[in-house]
Amino acid sequence: MHGLMMNYPLTLAQILAHAHRIHGDKQVHTLLPDGRVHRYSYAVLYGRVKRLANVLTGFGIRPGDRVATYAANTYQHLELYYAIPCIGAVLHPLNVRLAPTQLAEIVREAEDRLIFVDGAFAAQFAALQQHIDCPHTVIFNGASKMPVGAPLTRYEALISQADDTYAWEIQDENWAMGLCYTSGTSGEPRGVLYTHRSMFLHTLAVNQADAFGLTEADVVLPLVPMYHAMGWGLPYACMFVGADIVLPGAKPARERLVPPLCGGDNPLANLIAETGVTVAAGVPTVWAQAYPELRKRAQDISSLRQLIVGGEAMPPTLIEAYEKELGVEVRHAWGMTEMSPTGTLSTLRRAHQQLSDTEKWKVKAMQGRPVPGVEIRLATESGAELPWDGNTMGEVQVRSHWTARRYYKIEPTAEHFTTDGWLRTGDIATINAEGYMQIVDRAKTLIRSGGESISSVALEAALMKHPQVVEAAVIGVPDEKWGERPLAIIVLTQQADEGTPAALKQHLASEFPKFWIPDRFVFVDEIPKTSVGKSDKRAILAFL
């Protein structure tokens, strides 16, 4: 028997309309390259999004078409986050840190019909542009650096000429709204095609009081780039509750804002102080690097009440530092691009309130419990379910209303999806009786460096192409600053000389971004193997 409730599609257009109607005066702040802060209201954003919708249809963009962005966290990118899906097209944020050849492959597969480019990345975009065949490019934030002859159109000119009325109509909540690529354990980038339904549900889920718990009173700073896993869903979560948004501007946050990279001044503390940030979201590397300076400026950043941390594990000592010294609550999350991305979150239970502080940080350093709507389980390689005893290790498998059921343009395989419809994450973990998950081993081949993924498989494949390389294994080794860095173990055809590492680095440089290049090369006679003939990376680690 069917019920008799209203049943119309769950869409992002509803989030946009609600934000405009109920929270029209709330603010979006963007840090500009010159250090000033650009500000406008949701109401202004709404008007521009409607104009942008007309710009998109003017380019012939129709429901289902992919439209790419090549941009950092700015108000224009936020406008694109709404305009593209709300006309029924597919928002495809490109990871600006990927190498041009990698990205070109992704753009080809996605068949992007239009690319929006942040002028701050104009030079590096020009390198990409040689490899792709995208009909149109629109640029914002100053086009002065754009190579002459590139077929570009200016964003603001288009916006100002466009009509400011548009009637949103998403006919089906299962329409695709976004496409993000992930590089997983296999080294091949794989696309995740989100739906309006999945992102709407993800938004409600993360706004639960026990998840991100954002409110209208919050001022939220997403340091996580909007090209990473849909910016952790924050562009939608913030605006559905009516929080102010602070965008760190036209270059990746950690390069601009974090002291070791930006010199003596500390724009991050300044930005928090100036805009009254209450919640900030980013990877642990950012928070580790920023801590000393934030500690010095504790008075100035007293508005900050909470960090949302994900992308890699946050050490208990760092959680302690923020909670104890700065009074900032750390919400430690785990997820994947495939999961929109939120899976688990480590908040304390009522029962934990009686623990010692040290024990509390340990609980918070786990990846935590699934947010309502997410199911997790541990399984053996053959798929047998394992107990939640805090000791037994197994692969984490996930099911949720915001998890991918397959990859874009790739037939589902048993490597990634179980026959009963769960995602195989490739992460090895324990889960205790209270439902807290602890990742004990990463996906075997994935290296996480400063919040970015580096595929050892892809590096190995490239190294093997070098005429002097017989065999190569790349592993992640702990690094104080970046979390992990790649290290290459090489078997050569001949004796290595002092020029060999430089030659191999140069060989890789044409194919990968700088931060992918291994820092160290170790030359050996033989690489230990597992029983099935694969490089035994545990054994390699043991003899290093």
Among positions 15-74, residues that touch a second copy (CB under 8 A) are 15, 17-18, 21-23, 25, 63-64
- Residue among 290, 202, 275, 281 nearest 10 (CA): 202
Write the DSSP symbol of residue 249: B
Integer Cα distance of 350 and 340 in angstroms = 28
Give the footprint of a second copy on residues 132-161 (CB under 8 A): none
Candidate residues 185, 400, 456, 500; the one interacting with a second copy per rule CB under 8 A: 400
Whether the CA torsion 175, 181, 182, 183 is positive or negative: it is positive
Binding of a second copy by 390 (CB under 8 A): no
Determine whether 231 is exposed, middle or buried from the number of CB atoms within 10 Å of its CB (0-12, 13-18, 19+): buried
Q: Which of 121/407 has CB closer to a second copy?
A: 407
| Piece of 118-126, 314-322, 400-408, 526-534 that binds a second copy (CB under 8 A) | 400-408
Measured N-to-C along each axis, helices 100-110 and 122-129 cross at an angle, to the nearest 10 degrees, of 70
Q: Which of 155/388 has CB closer to a second copy?
A: 388
Candidate residues 133, 156, 169, 216; the one interacting with a second copy per rule CB under 8 A: 216
Give the footprint of a second copy on residues 229-248 (CB under 8 A): 240-242
258 and 284 Cβ atoms separated by less than 8 Å: no
Candidate residues 123, 217, 440, 509; the one interacting with a second copy per rule CB under 8 A: 217
Report the SS3 class of residue 45.
helix
Closest approach of a second copy to the CB of residue 62, in Å: 10
Q: Give the amino acid at 250.
A: A
360 HSE (CA, 13 A, CB side): 19
Integer Cα distance of 41 and 81 in angstroms = 16
Candidate residues 93, 213, 248, 341; the one interacting with a second copy per rule CB under 8 A: 213
Q: Which of 18/154 has CB closer to a second copy?
A: 18
Lookup: tokens for 309: 């941390």
* Phi, psi (degrees; rounded to nearest 5) at 264: -70, -35
Residues with Cβ within 8 Å of residue 14, at least 6 apart in sequence: 200
Output the CA–CA distances (angstroms, integers) from residue 61 to 52, 54, 132, in the order listed.
11, 10, 19
Integer Cα distance of 39 and 78 in angstroms = 13
Closest approach of a second copy to the CB of residue 14, in Å: 7
Q: Which of 153/208 has CB closer to a second copy?
A: 208
| Piece of 91-99, 213-221, 260-268, 291-299 that binds a second copy (CB under 8 A) | 213-221
Binding of a second copy by 90 (CB under 8 A): yes
Give the footprint of a second copy on residues 169-208 (CB under 8 A): 172, 174-177, 192-198, 201, 204-205, 207-208
DSSP secondary structure letters along 502-516: HHHHHHHHTTS-GGG
Q: Which of 17/496 has CB closer to a second copy?
A: 17
Closest approach of a second copy to the CB of residue 194, in Å: 6
Candidate residues 37, 57, 408, 519; the one interacting with a second copy per rule CB under 8 A: 408
| Piece of 32-40, 154-162, 396-404, 492-500 that binds a second copy (CB under 8 A) | 396-404
Candidate residues 187, 316, 370, 486; the one interacting with a second copy per rule CB under 8 A: 370
Candidate residues 38, 108, 349, 534; the one interacting with a second copy per rule CB under 8 A: 349
Size of the site for a second copy (CB under 8 A): 72
Integer Cα distance of 330 and 238 in angstroms = 18
Integer Cα distance of 213 and 222 in angstroms = 15
Give the footprint of a second copy on residues 430-459 (CB under 8 A): 434-435
Closest approach of a second copy to the CB of residue 244, in Å: 8
Closest approach of a second copy to the CB of residue 252, in Å: 28
Closest approach of a second copy to the CB of residue 385, in Å: 12
Integer Cα distance of 461 and 445 in angstroms = 12
Q: Which of 409/529 has CB closer to a second copy?
A: 409
Q: Which of 1/148 has CB closer to a second copy?
A: 1
| Piece of 130-138, 365-373, 463-471, 526-534 that binds a second copy (CB under 8 A) | 365-373
Q: List the 483-492 sheet strands across, edge first.
A: 469-479, 483-492, 520-523
Closest approach of a second copy to the CB of residue 329, in Å: 13
Candidate residues 6, 148, 532, 542; the one interacting with a second copy per rule CB under 8 A: 6
Closest approach of a second copy to the CB of residue 527, in Å: 37
Integer Cα distance of 474 and 485 in angstroms = 10
Output b/e per residue, 183-216; b: 16+ Cβ within 10 A. Answer: bbbbbebbbbbbbbbbbbbbbbbbbeeebbbbee
| Piece of 43-51, 224-232, 345-353, 536-544 that binds a second copy (CB under 8 A) | 345-353
Lookup: tokens for 544: 């290093």
Binding of a second copy by 327 (CB under 8 A): no
| Piece of 99-107, 266-274, 286-294, 348-356 that binds a second copy (CB under 8 A) | 348-356
